[in-house]
Amino acid sequence: MKRLFFAFFVLAIAGLGLFWWLTRPVLAVSGAQAAALEQGGDAGRGELVFHGGGCASCHATPGQPDRTRLGGGLQLKTAFGTFVSPNISPSQADGIGSWTTADLANAMLRGVSPEGAHYYPAFPYTTYAHAKLEDVRDLMAYLRTLPAVDGKAPAHDVSFPFSFRRGLGLWKLLFLDPTPLRDDPGQSAAWNRGHYLVNALGHCAECHSPRNLAGGIVTAQRFAGGPDAEGRGWVPNITARGIGSWSRGDIAELLATGFTPDYDSVGSSMADVVRNTGALPKADRDAMAEYLKSLAAVDGPPRSSKKE
């Protein structure tokens, strides 16, 4: 019995060690590369990254009109709990005023906090993981020009086992792919720009794709729509199955004004997205339209019989 107990003890320690290693937070940048990120940074380009990444949609303080006051506080209610967007203003005490550019890069590209903890994927780092480091550097240069907002956002309301953040390391092994996006030489420059804006900054698939029980995007149905994460309706299919009759101009117009080809207008969270894309250069909206128009038809999940 002593031998069995000892063997069990050794296996338990080995299993715990393996779990701890597999779930460790992995940084995107460190050392000399992190130091180099502090050099330069174009705030003008960073503003475009800010709009392209939809930062204001989640981080602007609710209940006031200034989208550059990034005090956080927006609540996202999901099946896993309620997540609250943090203050990302330059406030030293309550925001990210003390962060380095490398801290921002590790948060966006790997979902890791400056303290070395995993962020919840309500923050769409699974998409931002494909962003270019120079874009993160420029974004930080822009964020540092914005007003500091005092006050910390409330904590997330997440129950066990989801409150155990270390377990997110296993989730990342399954659903976080940090492979950089590559231009397709067989496509136009506009298509490649749209590919980057949609799949690295705009994080369109985060809302327009169904998710599995673990909260990961169903890869085979990417962009095919599905139930809203907050249970407030149905997010449309934006592949050719859903918008195949739309022209590139129709898509670009929606991204600029929110109007659809049938003279309707988008609402809910998509209206806020249009405030972001509408601030981009026309060439970027046209590029996104060209890429989205190229998506093959994909069937989404069946809609429930109850009213959405």
Alpha helical stretches, state H, 37-100 = 43-52, 55-59
Instruction: Report the distance separating Cα 255 and Cα 72, nearest Å.
Output: 24
- Is residue 194 a contact partner of residue 204, using CB atoms and an 8 Å limit? no
Distances from the Cα of 62 to the Cαs of 69, 119, 207, in angstroms?
A: 9, 22, 20
Treating both helix axes as pointing N-terminal to C-terminal, what angle do 282-293 and 248-257 enclose, rounded to 10 degrees? 130
Residue matched to tokens 């475009």: 48
- Give the number of residues written for the chain: 308
Q: What is the pLDDT of residue 6?
A: 66
Tens digits of per-residue pLDDT, 256-298? 999 989 888 887 778 889 999 999 999 999 999 999 999 999 9
| Cα radius of gyration rounded to whole Å, the chain | 21
Q: What is the pLDDT of residue 193?
A: 97
Main-chain dihedrals φ then ψ at residue 147, nearest 5 degrees: -70, 140
**Measuring CA to CA, which residue among 123, 101, 100, 99 is closest to residue 110?**
123
Q: What is the pLDDT of residue 11?
A: 78
State the burial class of residue 220 (Cβ atoms within 10 Å of its Cβ: 0-12, 13-18, 19+): exposed
pTM, to two decimals: 0.90
3-state secondary structure of 201: helix
List the pLDDT tens digit at each of the 308 positions of the chain.
677 776 766 777 887 888 777 889 999 999 999 999 898 899 999 999 999 999 999 999 998 889 999 999 999 888 888 999 999 999 999 999 999 999 999 999 999 999 999 999 999 999 999 999 999 999 999 999 999 999 999 999 988 888 888 889 999 999 999 988 999 999 999 999 999 999 999 889 998 999 998 889 999 999 998 888 766 778 899 999 999 999 999 999 999 999 989 888 887 778 889 999 999 999 999 999 999 999 999 998 887 654 44
Q: What is the pLDDT of residue 304?
A: 67
Cβ-based neighbour number of residue 69 at 10 Å: 18
Q: What is the pLDDT of residue 308?
A: 43
Tens digits of per-residue pLDDT, 97-109? 999 999 999 999 9
Alpha helical stretches, state H, the chain = 2-22, 31-36, 43-52, 55-59, 101-110, 125-128, 133-143, 168-175, 189-196, 204-207, 240-243, 248-257, 268-277, 282-293
Q: What is the pLDDT of residue 307?
A: 43
Q: What is the pLDDT of residue 263?
A: 82
In eight-state DSSP terms, residue 41 is: -
Q: What is the pLDDT of residue 7?
A: 72
Instruction: Report the distance separating Cα 200 and Cα 53, nearest Å.
Output: 8
List beta partners, residue 76.
83
- The domains of the chain, with CATH numbers, are 29-175 (1.10.760), 189-293 (no CATH)
